[in-house]
Amino acid sequence: MYERSWTVRFSDTDPFGIAHYPRIVDALHETSDMFMQEIGFPFWEISREEGYGLPLVEMNFEFENPVAAGDDVTVELTPVPGTRSVRFEYVARNDGEVAFWGYEQRVCARTDGEGAIELPDDLRLALEEYVED
Amino acid sequence: MYERSWTVRFSDTDPFGIAHYPRIVDALHETSDMFMQEIGFPFWEISREEGYGLPLVEMNFEFENPVAAGDDVTVELTPVPGTRSVRFEYVARNDGEVAFWGYEQRVCARTDGEGAIELPDDLRLALEEYVED
Amino acid sequence: MYERSWTVRFSDTDPFGIAHYPRIVDALHETSDMFMQEIGFPFWEISREEGYGLPLVEMNFEFENPVAAGDDVTVELTPVPGTRSVRFEYVARNDGEVAFWGYEQRVCARTDGEGAIELPDDLRLALEEYVED
Amino acid sequence: MYERSWTVRFSDTDPFGIAHYPRIVDALHETSDMFMQEIGFPFWEISREEGYGLPLVEMNFEFENPVAAGDDVTVELTPVPGTRSVRFEYVARNDGEVAFWGYEQRVCARTDGEGAIELPDDLRLALEEYVED
């Protein structure tokens, strides 16, 4: 599993001092980008150099507790590789308590639009190192 | 049902010319805000003047087809009121074809954090005018 | 001069109920995009079909009065075409009072990175229809 | 002077693979927020506990070179305290080359809207440790 810390900023917050939902979604997407860089397959590189990507086909999130400016939110990402897709499962905790959690379902697809392909072996191996036992 | 048109902007698009997912989520949230204004219960007014809001507890979206800069995307919102909550169901179409769809589950809650309350009668009446038969 | 109305949304606002600066900048950029579409030279079309764009080289804005959720802000854009560049001048008013104003300096450049070029004649003509006398 | 690294993400980039301007502005504002936290006066704390803030009254930036996904951009912030205001000067470098630079002019103001006040002594002292000689 991969983990990063997201500090909620003043500019993320609403009239009640808690983060706007679109800003939480920004942080989730940033986490997917940081994870892909961490495992050596940054989104910008695979699309340009390998000709494929992992476009989103579904997102499903639950928001259990609000987060406020200054909170250091721990966002965990666990990949669940399929044959032609991968699910990124997220759990975000604030002071040990779950704040939001859910998943992004991503399909492996050629950037030229020819439809889904199998996850390349090297990407699969890299993802598997972060799979939960 | 409520309907608005969202024009995808150049600044919403990625290296393949299609909208980034966080920008789609921005458009969805903007739609909820426009809808609440349309029915006479803008988010900024109910929170300040009536002391309650409709915070998000779940979002679930599927992305079927990408949208590109210049596309005029029709976003439909249909409310499904519950007792202490309301579901906003969305369908977005581009040239008649579904681009993305899903829902936001929102709970009715006091802004002072005292937990869920029943939907106020006047809000329920306003929502019901947009319910699908 | 070109004019559009920007409604400040709940999700644009901060703990004091006023718009975050980055959200104001989003609205300004959206206005430039709407203007270029209005005059028949949308950013997404000129870059793809004509091989040039109007990248930003400078932005300078002053914020005189805050804007709040629900405010209908009138944003005016006046283009000032140069030889190889164009300045977009903005004035945003809220209830008749100036809220923010400033300009974006944009250069006309080939998208293949070969440096500044003269504004194409057809674009210049289209811009001149919006020039203030 | 304060320094942070900003990694440009895939979701920040446009059809030419370079960062959209509004995403650069997001990164600049995030830097101001990180700086205030670093010096012990986070925006969310001074507004809530001390009753003042540093609202933006002017921003002026020049964009010299585009930045692309994966670039690690070094953003430097140097505060220039005035009597009732402070200027945040920024220089962002990518591989040693200036990418963008400029400043935000911020005024010190009561959150209850009573107009500009002198910078509190403790804040001034904290800012002065980052002033360039």
Residue D22's pLDDT is 96
Q: Which residues of chain A have pLDDT under 70?
A: none
Chain pair C-D, CB pairs under 8 angstroms: 58
Distance (Å) from the C-alpha of residue B11 to the closest C-alpha of chain A? 15
Residue A80 in tokens: 């669940």
Contact D53, D47 (CB under 8 A): yes
D14 within domain boundaries = yes
Token pair for A83: 């044959």
Looking at the complex, report in whole angstroms how far the Cα of residue A9 sits from the nearest Cα belonging to chain D.
7
Confirm whether C133 is domain-assigned: no
Using CA atoms, how far apart are residues C105 and C100, in angstroms rounded to an integer? 17
Q: How many domains does chain B have?
A: 1
* pLDDT tens-digit series, residues D71-93: 999 999 999 999 999 999 999 99
pLDDT at A45: 96
Q: Is D65 part of the contact surface with chain A (CB cutoff 8 Å)?
A: no
CB burial of residue B97 (10 Å; 0-12, 13-18, 19+)? exposed
Mean pLDDT of chain C: 96
Whether D5 has its CB under 8 Å from any CB of chain B: the answer is: no
pLDDT at position C132, please? 81
pLDDT in tens, A33-50: 999 999 999 999 999 999
Q: What is the spatial distance between Cα B119 and Cα A29, in angstroms, rounded to a whole number?
A: 33
The partner residue sitting opposite A11, judged by closest CB among C11, C16, C22, is C22
Mutation for D interface: A16, A32, A33, A50, most D CBs within 10 A: A33
- Chosen for mutation from D30, D33, D45, D52 (greatest number of chain A CBs closer than 10 Å) is D33
Residue B47 has pLDDT above 80, yes or no: yes
User: Cβ of D17 under 8 Å from any chain A Cβ?
Assistant: yes
Distances (CA, A) of B122 to B46, B82, B115, D38, D89: 12, 14, 20, 47, 51
Question: pLDDT, tens digit, for every residue of C63-83?
Answer: 999 999 999 999 999 999 999
Write out the DSSP string of A54-71.
--EEEEEEEE-S--BTT-
Supply the pLDDT for residue D114: 76
Q: So what's the pLDDT on residue D113?
A: 75
Provide, rounded to the nearest whole percent, the portion of chain B with pLDDT above 90.
95
For residue A35, being part of any structural domain is answered with: yes
* A36/B114 Cα distance (integer angstroms): 40
Q: Is residue D38 part of a domain?
A: yes
Q: Confirm or reject contact between A17 and chain C (CB < 8 A).
A: yes
The percentage of residues in chain D with a pLDDT greater than 90, rounded to a whole number, is 95
Q: Which of B19, B21, B43, B49 is nearest to B31 (CA)?
A: B43
Mean pLDDT along residues B43-57: 95
Mean per-residue pLDDT for C49-74? Answer: 97
CATH code, domain carrying A62: 3.10.129.10
Query: Is B97 in a helix, a strand, or coil?
Result: strand
- Is the pLDDT assigned to residue B132 strictly greater than 90? no
Region class of C96: left (phi > 0), else alpha (psi between -120 and 50), else beta: left
D133 belongs to a structural domain:
no
Domain that holds residue D83: 2-128
Element (H, E) at B5: strand B2-7
The reply to whether B133 falls in a domain is no
All residues of chain B having their beta carbon less than 8 Å from the beta carbon of residue D15 are 10, 13-17, 69
Strand partners, A101: A62, A91
Q: Is pTM, for the whole model, over 0.90?
A: yes
Question: What is the arithmetic mean of pLDDT over D17-26?
Answer: 96
Q: Do A60 and B59 touch (CB under 8 A)?
A: yes
Strand residues in D25-96 grouped as ranges (E):
52-53, 56-63, 72-81, 85-94
- Please check whether residue B86 lies inside any domain of the structure: yes
Section C48-54 average pLDDT: 94
Instruction: Pick D10's closest partner by Cβ from A10, A44, A69.
Output: A44
Cβ partners under 8 Å of residue D75, min gap 6:
D3, D4, D5, D6, D27, D28, D31, D90, D91, D92
Q: CB of B24 within 8 A of CB of B65?
A: no
Q: Is residue B57 part of a domain?
A: yes
Residue in the block written with tokens 């947009």: B130
Tell me the pairing of strands B97-107 and B109-110: unpaired
Name which of A10, A37, A68 is nearest D33 (Cβ-Cβ): A10
Mean pLDDT of C32-61: 96
Q: Show the CA angle centred on residue D57, arms to residues C14 and D52, nearest 5°.
A: 55
Is the CB of residue D44 less than 8 Å away from at least one CB of chain A?
yes
Query: Coil, strand, or helix at residue C42?
Result: coil
* B22 within 8 A of A56, measured Cβ to Cβ: no
* Inter-chain residue contact D11 with A17, CB threshold 8 Å: no
Give the relative orientation of helices C21-38 and D21-38 as an angle to the nearest 10 degrees: 170
A70 touching C, CB under 8 A? no
Q: Which of C17, C44, C70 sits opposite B10 (nearest CB)?
A: C44
